[in-house]
Amino acid sequence: MSAEDDEVLKIFVSTDNHLGFAEKDPVRGNDSFAAFEEVLFLAKSQRCDMIVLSGDLFHDNKPTRATVLKTIKILRKYCLGANPVKFEVVSDQSNFVQNQGVNFEDENFAVDLPIFSIHGNHDDPTRDGGTDMLAALDLLAACNLVNYYGRHDEIDKVDIDPVLIRKGENTKVALYGMGSMRDERLNRMWSKKKVKFLKPADEPEDDNDKEGKEWFNIFSLHQNRDYGRGAKNCVHESMIPEWMDLILWGHEHECLIDPVESLVGTFRVSQPGSSVATSLCMGESTPKQGGVLEIMGDNFRMTNNPLSKVRGFAMGEVSLMDFDELNPEDPKIDEKVTKVLVAKVKELINEARERTEVANEAAETHRQNCGMEDEDLQPEYDLNIPKRVLVRLKVEHTGFSTLNNQRFGAQFVEEVANPTEILLFHRRKRPQDAKKGGSGKKRGGGGGNLMEPIAPEELVEVSVEDLIKENLMSDEKKLEILDEATMSVALDEFVNKAQTTAIVDAVGHRLTKCQKKLIKSGGEELKDGRSILTSVAADTDALRRKAEAEDEERAKVGK
């Protein structure tokens, strides 16, 4: 695209910044802020028109005051300024939370780098201090620092109204946003066709009318992708309207930012990934990047922006059975295992540091190629002791005992940032026809007939909902007033969202509904406490059957 700047809309895309992650860690405490500041620095230095974030700006549902303060300072430094915004929002702005309009049109504020953000599953709205649902993004929106959109509070439908953006004469972008919501709720509405994407008024109703199409459609969402999680625990690409042009997929931390053709084949998907590693898994070890999305008319391109303010991370895997010098019967086996693992961890430390050097060189090369020299923008946050990298070694220890992680990591406290989490022990998957009496040893009686070790499968994700159903669905433990779905939602909000009144509110809401239903029925047949409880239990069973029927329906749709 060689058009003038007044026709090209430049959007910096990023997601899952997780501000405040490990903020009390003396080494990793600044990691999330350093990476986020670099994202804003790259956007500002390349004169991007706007930034789009696809959820989880904050790591905690109720971030600390220290985290909020740091965030506000960073946003004020990079988003406020005297430069004019070169695009306009031409749609109804009532879908913006708090301000009912974009921040750069407020005459009392000088915003020159607008941010458009949806919420994620970490910073989604919860009740706090009253009946209103509030998210941490509401605070930033009220301060005119972020344009918070894509929030849908209706429990039975989702109408996704786009933010219509126009730059110049030929560039029109419809930005759709859907903040994170519970997968079961979303799948239930999607299967009932209660999720609607509203088109601009001048867009043709016929999805196949390519000539009449005027808007470039972007959909930013924060949900699980279909990585074998089950029909109802993710969003399938087939659910998304075929007339979309580009999907910005948040929530998944692996950086796959290059747009790839979807399974549907009519749109492309970009997965920016997180800017900070919040878990020690393979997906987090890929190089972290942001991207500059340039749009002119119905053409677009994505330019990758390597991030340099990222702590080095390397991951490896070993099987103790592969080392001939290790014998489980050896009285000094722990010392020998430690020696083997220490050597492997040192290799990973060197690998992580090499990756850091490569990432820094790539970032520096990109900045030189883009001519980014802004002496007025000096980053405030940096990595504490960047030479201390992240390392995770998965150890298959079938036939061997495990080591104490803290004692093992003590020798690496000056070299790694996660000394107590270096080793992850697991056992190999046994063949289905393996004899129960197998010893699991490499040498010794009875061990010669064992098959070669099989790589372990990834741990199956166990949800709170599954645990509650397993423990409460038996006749002896079955609840008579509360249903499992209500209980699981309340427990999730209590544990993960720090919503201390979640369980009390759920019980109160359920009791109120039961009381209203009993009063409405007249109560003639309810002569004593037992009959009342029987009636309520029957109503609870009806809720269970309804939930099971919806699960079956979603499973059929997902096949």
The catalytic residue positions are 122
DSSP 410: G
**Site of tokens 């004593």:** 528
* DSSP reduced 3-state for 370: helix
| CA angle 79–28–258, rounded 5-degree value | 60
Three-state SS at 174? strand
Would you list the DSSP string of 495-521?
HHS--TTHHHHHHHHHHHHHHHHHHHH
**How far apart are the C-alpha atoms of 265 and 248, rounded to whole Å?**
16
DSSP string, 466-488: HHHHHHH-STTT--SSS-HHHHH
Give the Å distances, CA to CA, from 215 to 238, 259, 453, 542.
21, 19, 54, 46
Work out the angle between the directed axes of helices 183-191 and 529-558 (0-180°, nearest 10): 70
C-alpha 93/C-alpha 149 separation (Å) is 10
Which residues are bridge partners to 51 per DSSP?
A: 12, 115
CB 20 within 8 A of CB 63: yes
| Cβ-Cβ contacts under 8 Å for 462 (sequence gap 6 or more) | none
How far out from the chain centre does Cα 359 lie? Answer: 23
What are phi and psi for residue 334, nearest 5 degrees? -60, -40
Provide the 3-class DSSP secondary structure of residue 397: coil
Give the β-pairing of 216-222 and 133-134: unpaired
Give the pair of three-digit tokens for residue 523: 């109560």
What is the residue whose two structure tokens read 């993710």? 234
Torsion sign, CA atoms 38, 17, 294, 85 = negative
Q: Computed over its alpha carbons, how large is the radius of gyration of the chain?
A: 27
Whether the CB-CB separation of 306 and 362 falls below 8 Å is answered with: yes
Exposed/middle/buried for residue 36 (C-beta within 10 Å: 0-12, 13-18, 19+): buried
Q: What three-state secondary structure class fits 73?
A: helix
Which distant-in-sequence residues (6+ apart) come within 8 Å of 225 by Cβ?
234, 235, 249, 251, 252, 271
Q: What are the residues facing 529 on neighbouring strands?
A: none
